Structure 1
Amino acid sequence: MIHSLPEPIRQAIESGRAPSPPQVLLRLLQMVDDDGATMAELARLVEQDAGLCTRVLTAANSPAIRRGNPMCSIENCLQALGTRLVRSLATCLSVQSLFDERTATRVVDLSAFWTHSLLTAELSRILAASSGYPRPDEAYLAGLLHDVGQLILLSALGEPYLQILVACPSEAALSVMESERLGVHHGEIGTWLADQWQLDSALADGILFHHLPGEQILTAAQLPQVVWLAHALTRCAEVPDALRDLAEQMFGQACSKGLTVLRAQAEERMGVLAEAIGITRPDPAAFDDTTGLPRVLGVRTAAEPDAQGQIAAIIGSLALMQPLQQDLFALQSDAEVLLALREAARILFDLNHLAFLLCDPHDARLSGKGIAGQPSIFGQVSIVPETHRSLAVAALLSNRICSSYDRTPPPTHSLMDIQFARALSSSGLLCLPMVGGSRTLGVIVVGLSAGQHSRLSRRLSCLTNFGRTAGLSLDKWRAARTAREQMSEEAAARFTRQARRTVHEAGNPLTIIKGYLRILDGKLPPGAGVHHELAVLGEEIERVARIVQRMSEVPAVGADDETVDIGDLLGELLLLCRAALFDSKGIAIETLVPTQAIRIACDRDAIKQILVNLWKNASEALSRGQRLKISLTSDILHRGRHYAELRIEDNGPGMSEAVISALHRPADAPIGASRGIGLSIVGALTQRLGIPVICRSTAACGTMIVLLLPIREPAGQQDNSDTRPR
């Protein structure tokens, strides 16, 4: 049982990286730029490479990305990350593979390692499916990562681990030699990492137990047994009887008899994948006890494999951080930029504990106020730009990296630095200035141990470039935001000028129409009976003129002292609209309106617009022979205020919930249907006027909409007992 790793090994693997085959990185770079590539295709590619899997799992399960339960599916992880971050991941790993300083002095061939891992993964998936394990994809991931500890140790320790590989006589002996010389074996390293990622414990157990004796694995759960059997099948060209007996005890006779067929299927699938990523397919007859181990070939030379050269050609003249900068520039807010920087720092430098302090543009104070995803202490401080205050200020003023482990000059100690280190669960700090152009925009505060700092010190130039990229990206994004705001203001000004010209031009024909109406009214005899109708038309033209006038103005609520007789307004609108909207379509109208005046405290034109939209919606929805009822009462008390209730009911087809929801949408965001557009206008106006709206609709039974219109006087001062149809 594993409780903890030896401290030297733990510190070493904190910065260890699982290298990825350059062929996979090359293909991934091509796929993320292919609009036709799907997430499922990306997931299948990433699943071929344990190194990429570790990075995708780490990024997707980080606190900044993960929402809810840990993610074990590579496809789900990629969906959570998005193509932008996946592109950054692939590009950064590609650049890193070219520019990282190598501590090892010998060339290591990992092709056998990759084919062994792919074959174990394929066998694990097939065995899981055939034995009834409910999550075959999880079994595939466990099989792919079962030897990932070897890559971590190779990357973290370099030459000392290479010496173990050279001296190792067989794969079975590797775990023993690792335990004797390092105090831990690669299965424990992989399990520790799986625990750090908070993956399912059964998956981690599959990594931990894959080298145990057969009689012992019989006492394990199903997933570790699946991985163990898959791993065992990769170590022999023919399936021995002893392995068949163990398989029968674990999964039954049917599984044990089909092992040869299952292995053939897995080999065929693995061969296709190996060829797709440019790895030589091994001869199954050549499988022996050393199959799957990284092979030390000789002294490292300056020559690079062809695939590395292809990646270099893709990246071309881009600097180490330029692809990251391009991605950052496409983001939409400071928060997104900082989140991307946090994940990039994790991917590039394994910096898992960091926070941001940004400069106030007025007094240059440093503060993390308003920045999510970091300890609260950073949002509580506002640090005066004086060197002795903090390492962060020292980095800000000097424009260079400062850390708790600097020796010349001696580091400055402050209580604030102690607080920052405690908040980041570390023994010390590294402060990286974010320089944008000619000014420093802030500081990245990293929590790290002395061992981490020692290893990171070899990459200070890259880290400095990262700080510059961070500052330039933030500076350019802010400049772009300012430019967009300026363009928006200029566009709004142009629209206003155009609207004013339109208002001026529209005013001329409206004035002419009003003049002709007055002439017509004067020519008609006093008893002609249409003078009232002409007056209503004149009033409506005035309302159109006011609506046009408001095209170049911000709409305002009517004056508080304006009151409208809602009963008279209903009569006027019905006189104007009834024939066109209802009578011509055979829709019956019933009205119940008090004879006593009910004066509401609302803008007259806005109420007209609300009623016309509601009636027009009803007219379009109702069929010949159906009915619309309009009723008005004034004795409503709602939340301590008096209202008149205007109720509009029909017996039509009803409205869907989606259409009704338009009452709560802005007028410039309609849902598509014509009734939805009208209701969105009604919703915007009623919200502006403070008019509560109630809506009830039942399919095939009709719709009821109630408007509560505020009135000036208490209902008790009005006599509306005489209610009769109009």
Structure 2
Amino acid sequence: MEGSGQGSGNNAGPVDTVKSMTVEKQQVPTQLTLNKLPSLPQVLVRILDAVSQESADFQQLSNIIRQDSGMSARLIAVANSSYYRRQHGCDSVDRALMCLGIDTVRTLVITAAVKQYFSYFDKDHQQFMARFWRRSLVSAHCAQTFATLTGYNATSQAYLCGLLMDVGQLCLLAENDSEYLPLLVSAGEDDQQLLESEQQVMGTTHCDLGALLLDSWQMDNFMADALRYHHAVSGQIKHAHHLVKIVNLSSLMSMQTELSEQTLAVANALFGFNEDLMRELHARIFADVQRVAGGLGMTSDEEPEQGQRANRELGEKLGQITQMQALRQAMPGASGSDQSGHGAQDAIGRALYLSFGFEKYVVFFLREPQGTLEASLGGVTGTNGTADFVLNADADESLVQRSFMAQQVLASEPRGSSSSSVLDDQLRRYCRQRALICLPFASKTLRGVVVAGANPDTLAHYQKNTTLWITLLQQVATLFDAEPGHTDSGKSSESSDSVRISEAVHEVSNPLSVINNYLEILRLKLGDSKDTNKEFSILHEEIDRVGKILLRLNKPDALPETETVDVNTTVEDLVRIFRESMCAARDIKVILQLDPSLEPVLLNKAELKQVLTNLIKNAVEAMPSGGQLTVQSQGRVMLNGRAYFAINIEDTGAGLPEQVMSKLFTPGITSKGEEHAGLGLSVVKKLMDAMNAQIDCSSSDKGARFRLLFPVVRVPSGDSRREN
């Protein structure tokens, strides 16, 4: 490849080349250097938010990390290390996350945040990091866009190279900021001056250092070259690899708020892009990055106060995460937690002290049959069954009752105020504080209020960290279920069934998560393809639907959620699954007739898919030796003066026996044999009833036909609900 061995542009002889390679080998950034790479504090806070959740969302986490060069470099370096590296290297943030897993990523992110928080960042550091972040993100978006426009399939590689094009600057800054930062400040926006200064003072350039870093990860050689030559003049790279040219143009575009004639000429020379296209792309990408910056609270790169605020927020976020980790460690069953003491009551005391600093507290539990809030200062009701306090749950005579009724955290006025009751004064004296704070809670089986003493610092901390307090209280509330003396024997059977269901849902969720993750790994191995991506998205959606069906077992009375559904697309996706699996195996011809006039409607998509899956599966199983499956949608059907849309499912099987037709939707009635439970059509009928829809069936010896009629509920104009 022309230009691939040019280094910094010198014509070195064989001896010089060997010497240069030795020097380069010594200059590869170590893991110690990578651990010190700075990130934008505003982005770190968002990443910490994402990883600190109990069930961190993979895609959300990936989207945030992909906005930051430093964190992306850390993750990919670890994923490509000998401890984690698989047969194929990780050349994207998505691959790195899949390889490492959420727990490892959580540890890496928290460690990086702690190190950065305790590092000194002055005004020059903060301004450089803000500019660096914007330029990296613009470059990444440009590279991805140019790759798409020019047909370069590895768009994720292009994005990563654009994001990391100046990662060498972060390495130099992390290793020797006292020497390197003045070079950055004096060079300003002049990249060529910066390269000359780096070579003279540091003995290398950030381009070469970034390329060496990617080489050390055993990345595709051309990815390293993309970083090595991203400041080269266009004449040197006109015959270079496509990725090199993409990142070179992205680098040029990222440094200009207004496109220069030189950049427009390079775009035309490398890819034939005209001026109008470049200006449109430039405006759109810069606007996108500006929106992201606005979401992070970055209005200007020149305001040091923004960086200081972000660093304070980072410190607060680390404090909250530390508090959550300490609480989880203290919970019964946690590794290293103290299991001695007096069971749940001791655990509640430890948890409340670790979470809120409450040394003295009272817990009021709701007694549903009596409609009372009851508390005992000994923690549980005594052997004689008498509580120390008994309050009407629906009254507002005290702070405790008002907090429970409103389901809000409430704080009292200091002692002696006119609004305090005798009960409030008694509780205040018991808790040995001037004021009270009441925190309503709800566990799986219990509801109530935690009452504790509050000083001005406690109240101020709550007002500043309301969300944290609520999260901590949710954790603590799980302990109340284990406290003796608070179970309702009348609900023991129901409760045990609920526990068994919850356990089963939890256990089934684990293999579903594994399947989901390995599907993503398989997709990444197969590479980017419009067809395979569509197939995988359908599979992911079906697995998510299984998860939602399981979760409904825990909330059988929950009302179904409606959303904007493109019915034709939903039907097409389902038919695709059956056509390429069960239908192909049975030599069944599939005819799909979709009415283009059928507009999106408000519907529960999961329930619709469950109905269609049952009926299509039944139709396919009715044709073991081949036949024809017809699935048809109709956009407008009038019945008794009301508008419906219809879906028809027809097969050419043997039809349904008379005894099945007479009790079509009765559980246990089936024509498939003893190994089938006969629940499919009864489930279909219940789901159709829940959607206020109608279903009818006709059958003969030439096949069966199901007709589904759904009332048309149009999406209101401006409705923000979108199909997920």
Question: What's the TM-score once normalised by structure 2's chain length?
Answer: 0.40
Higher RCO (C-alpha 8 Å, min separation 6): 1
Structure label with greater radius of gyration: 1
